[in-house]
Amino acid sequence: MKTFYIETFGCQMNAHDSEKVVGTLVTEGYQQVETAEEAELVFYNTCSIRDKAEQKVFNRLQQFKKDSKGKTFAVLGCVAQQEGEKIFEKAPHVSMVCGSASYNKLPQMLVQLEAGNKRVTGLSLDTEDTFETPMTRRDNPHRAYITIIEGCDKSCAYCVVPFTRGPERSRTSASVIAESRQLAEMGYSEIMLLGQNVNSYRDPSPAAWDFATLLDAVGRVEGIRRVRFTTSHPRDFVRPIIEAIATNPSLCNHVHLPVQSGSSRVLEAMRRSYTREEYMQRIAWMKASPRAIAITTDVIVGFPGETEEDFRATLALLDEVEYDSVFSFKYSRRPNTHALALEDQIPEEEKSRRLAVLQEHQRQIQIRRNADYVGRVEECLVEGFNKATVQWIGRTSQHKTLNFVHAGSEDLLGRYVDVRVTRSGPNSLAGEYAH
Ligand code: 5AD
Ligand code: SF4
C-alpha cells in the first residue's frame, strides 16, 4: 500500500490542508498518483458547508462501492468531522475518517492502516494543536498559502465550521515569519494568509502580535511582493488592517469581507454580531483609504424568515458598497447548527429566484466598476497562458483577472508586468502588455 490519490473539495483552507497532507504522506514514503483508479490509498478531503458540497464525497464513494478491492479509502476534512463514525455505516469500504484538528496524528494512523486496521478515526476537536509540517507539497509555483489560525470561535447560526474545525488556535508569529522567509527563498513571490477568521489572529508567544502587525511584517519579508489574506469577519475587522494596506505596498489592495445579509434583522437572526450600520462603517473606512481597496463579499439568500423587504435591503447594500465581486449562495440547512430548528424556511424556488435576481443585479455593478479600469495601467503577476485565445493571464493586486496580449516571445510566467487595460467585462479585464 504505497500509492495514494487525493481529491479536495471546498475552500482554500482545505486546499492548503491537502498540500500539507500530501507532504506528510510523501515523507512517510507514499507516492502520489493522478487517478483514484491507479491508487492503493484514496483520500477525499471534504467540505460540508452546504448540503450539495457534502453529497459530492458520497457520490465519489458510491462509484467504488462494488469494486473497492485492493483499495483503502480515507475521508478527511469537514464531512469526516461532522459525520464521524456514521461514514463507516454509509460507506463500509471506508477505513479512515479524520477531521482537520487531528491531522498531526496522520503518520500514526497510517501505521494502523498498514497493520490491517479497518476502522481508524481521528475525531477529537479538543485540541490546542495546529497542523504544522516541515514538508508541504505546494501546487502553485508563485502563490503559497500559509495557515495563521485554525478553527472558529464564532457561532453564526447557519455555519458548520465551528463544529468541523474546532476552536480557534493561532500559530506563533515567529513560525509564520520563518515560513514566509523560507517561501521567499524558494522563489515564491506571493503569500496568502489563511484562517476561518484571520482578523482574530492572536500570537500565542509573548510578542502577542495582532493580525495587522503580522500582516505588515509578512509584507516586509524580502522577496515577498504580494500578500493576501482570507477570510475576514466584520466584527474583528479593525482600522489598523486598512492602515497597513495603505502604507505597505506589498499588501494587496483587496479585502474580502463577508456581509451575508444587508438586513440588520436577518444579521441578528444569523447571530453575526454586527448590524448593517456597523458593517457599512468598515466599508466607509476602506473607501476613505488613500490607496483604493477592492472589496468582495459573501451573501446568503433565503435564510429562514428573510422577507422580500430584507432581501431588498441586501440588494440596496450591494448598490451602496459597489463590490468588485460577490459570492452568493442559497441558504442550506446544516446539521448541529442553531438555524436548523428555525421555522419559516424559505421555499427552494423562492431561494433560487432571489439568487438569480441578486446575481444579475451584481453583474450590472461589476460591468460598471470594471469599465472604470479601461485606460489604466495595472501591475500583474502572470499566472498562465491561454493557448486558445493566445493571451497571457494576469492577476492584479486587486485580484482581478487581466488577460493580455504580448508580441514578444519570452516566457512571462511568474513575472510582474505592467498591462494597459483596453476592454472590460463583468468578470475580467483585457489589455496589452505595456512593459
Ligand atoms: N448555507 C449557505 N451558505 C453558507 N455559507 C456558510 N454556511 C452556509 C449555509 N449553511 C456561506 C457563507 C460563507 C461562505 C463560505 O459560505 O456565505 O461566508
Ligand atoms: Fe467547507 Fe467550511 Fe470546511 Fe472549508 S471550512 S471545507 S468551506 S465546511
pLDDT digit string (tens) for the chain, length 435 residues: 699 999 999 999 999 999 999 999 999 999 999 999 999 999 999 999 999 999 999 999 999 888 778 899 999 999 999 999 999 999 999 999 999 999 999 999 999 999 989 999 999 998 888 998 888 899 899 999 999 999 999 999 999 999 999 999 999 999 999 999 999 999 999 999 999 999 999 999 999 999 999 999 999 999 999 999 999 999 999 999 999 999 999 999 999 999 999 999 999 999 999 999 999 999 999 999 999 999 999 999 999 999 999 999 999 999 999 999 999 999 999 999 999 999 999 999 999 999 999 999 999 999 999 999 999 999 999 999 999 999 999 999 999 999 999 998 899 999 999 999 999 999 999 999 998
Pick the ligand that lies closest to the CA of residue 331: 1
The ligand minimizing its distance to the Cα of 260 is 1
Separation between Cα atoms, residue 83 and residue 90, nearest integer Å: 10
Instruction: Indicate which residue's Cα is closest to atom 1 of ligand 2.
Output: 47
Residues 83-93 as b/e (b if ≥16 CB within 10 A, e otherwise) read beeebbeebeb
Q: Global pTM? A: 0.96
- How far is the C-alpha of 407 from the C-alpha of 130, rounded, in Å? 47
Whose atoms come closest to the Cα of 13: which ligand? 2
- Dist CA 131 CA 205 (whole Å): 17
What amino acid is encoded at 304 in this protein? P
Give the ligand with the smallest distance to the CA of 300. 1
Ligand 2 atom nearest residue 49's Cα: 8
Please state the atom number of ligand 1 nearest to the C-alpha of residue 328: 17
| DSSP 8-state code for residue 65 | S
Q: What is the pLDDT of residue 70?
A: 84
For residue 159, the ligand 1 atom closest to its alpha carbon is 7
For ligand 2, atom 8, the nearest C-alpha belongs to: 49
CB of 64 closer than 8 Å to CB of 41: no
Q: Under a CB-based contact definition with an 8 Å cutoff, are residues 258 and 314 in contact?
A: no
Interacting residues of 204 by C-beta distance below 8 A, sequence separation 6+ = 170, 171, 172
Q: What are 366's three cell numbers?
A: 461589476
Which atom number of ligand 2 is nearest to the Cα of residue 13? 4
Minimal CA–CA distance to 161: which of 123, 121, 197? 197
Per-residue confidence (pLDDT) for residue 75, from 0 to 100: 98
Q: Distance between CA 429 and CA 422 in Å, rounded?
A: 8
- Say which ligand is closest to the CA of 15: 2
CA distance 8 to 11: 9
H-run or E-run covering 211: helix 211-219
Reference 326, options 354, 350, 351, 295; nearest CA is 295
| Nearest atom of ligand 2 to the alpha carbon of 14 | 6
| 303 Cβ inside 6 Å of ligand 1 | no
Q: Determine whether the shortest distance from the Cβ of 329 to ligand 1 is under 6 A.
A: yes
| Residue of the CA atom closest to atom 2 of ligand 1 | 331
Cα–ligand 2 centroid distance for 13 (angstroms)? 7
Cα(266) to centroid of ligand 1, in Å?
Answer: 14
Q: In ligand 2, which atom is closest to the CA atom of 160?
A: 8
**Taking the mean position of all CA atoms in its chain, how far away is CA 400?**
16
Give distance in angstroms: CA of 82 to centre of ligand 1. 16
Q: Cell triple for residue 200?
A: 482574530
- Atom nearest to 334 CA in ligand 1: 10
Q: What residue ranges define each of the domains in the chain, with the CATH number in brackets? A: 3-122 (3.40.50.12160), 377-433 (2.40.50.140)
Buried b (16+ CB within 10 A) or exposed e, 412-430: beeebbebbbeebeeeebb
For residue 53, the CA-to-ligand 2 centroid distance in Å is: 9
* pLDDT the model gives residue 1: 61
For a pocket test of ligand 2, which of 52, 78, 337 has the largest count of ligand atoms closer than 8 A to its C-beta? 78
DSSP 152-208: -----TT--HHHHH-S-EEPPHHHHHHHHHHHHHHT--EEEEE-TTGGG-B-SSTT-
Burial class (CB in 10 A: 0-12, 13-18, 19+), 46: buried
